[in-house]
Amino acid sequence: MKRLAPIAFLAVLLTVLLSASAQAAARADCGRTVIEDWYANRDVDKLYPLGCYRSALEHLPVDLSSSVRQDIERAYEYARRGKLAPPSPATAARRAYAEWSAALRAGAVRDPARRFANPPIEALRRRLRDVEQRFDLRARQVYVRWPRQQAPYVVVSTNRPAALARAVPAILRILDPKRPTGDDRTGWPYEGFFFEALDANGQPFLVVFNHWRGPHAGGGQWTASKDLYPFAHG
């Protein structure tokens, strides 16, 4: 076998090293792209070569929250099967909240004269304390939006997601009680209500919301699993 002259050998070695360096830089660049994708909307919603996910996980800053790593790892597992990961639970809950907020704003513009019973916030807090005791859950956050009148936002947590999901209709009858009017669109105490439930790890697993002001009054629900829907769905 003919040996390479020292200069030729060094040239080949330099080419190999430069190529490896370029490949490593490319992997780092696409890893940063994955991280930037997550930052754009707190989710990875594009497919990338598998090495990009691995590079992203290797280069994640240590001070980032664990949810970033979990979301990228989840996206990687789906990508290994050639699939785009569905929205993470946190992203899905945020999108449901954004949909609710947009509906409240639109209703406030389109139907400003309609009036609701608008009970005081302390009445809601009393009902929530009752719900905590009866349904083995804990209230995490309560605040009220005012598009025109009150629109409460309630977040609870539980160690028993399936049991809570089954209890949601009863829970909402206490928190958001409807008067019997024979019409699903009337008799509500608030112009809107948003109910979100978290599991033991602080991850959303269920959202139910409604909005009753304006021509597009209605509601919606989201769950992390199809067996958790509290109401019939199409």
* Per-residue pLDDT reduced to its tens digit, 49-104: 999 999 999 988 776 667 788 889 999 999 999 999 988 898 899 999 999 999 99
Mean pLDDT score, 201-211: 95
Residue 89 and residue 230: Cα distance in Å, rounded? 17
What span, in angstroms and rounded, lies between the C-alpha atoms of 31 and 71? Answer: 14
Question: Is 47 inside a domain boundary?
Answer: yes
Give the end of a domain, one of 32, 58, 80: 80
Q: Has residue 28 been placed in a domain?
A: yes
* 68 and 96 belong to one structural domain: no
pLDDT greater at residue 181 or residue 41: 181
pTM over 0.85: no
Residues 177 and 101 in one domain: yes
Determine the Cα–Cα distance for residues 119 and 188; give it in Å rounded to an integer. Answer: 11
Pair 158, 44 in one domain: no
Domain that holds residue 106: 89-228
| Cα–Cα distance, 67 to 21 (Å, whole number) | 31
Chain mean position to CA 10 = 54
Q: 202 with 95, same domain?
A: yes
In Å, what is the CA distance from 25 to each residue of 10, 52, 195, 224?
A: 22, 11, 46, 37
- Among 80, 103, 119, the domain-final residue is 80
Please indicate, yes or no, if residue 234 is contained in any of the structural domains: no
pLDDT for residue 13 is more than 70: no
Confidence of residue 165 (pLDDT cuts 50, 70, 90): very high
For residue 1, being part of any structural domain is answered with no
How many domains is the chain partitioned into structurally? 2
Tally of residues, the chain: 234
Q: Please tell me the predicted confidence (pLDDT) of residue 63.
A: 66
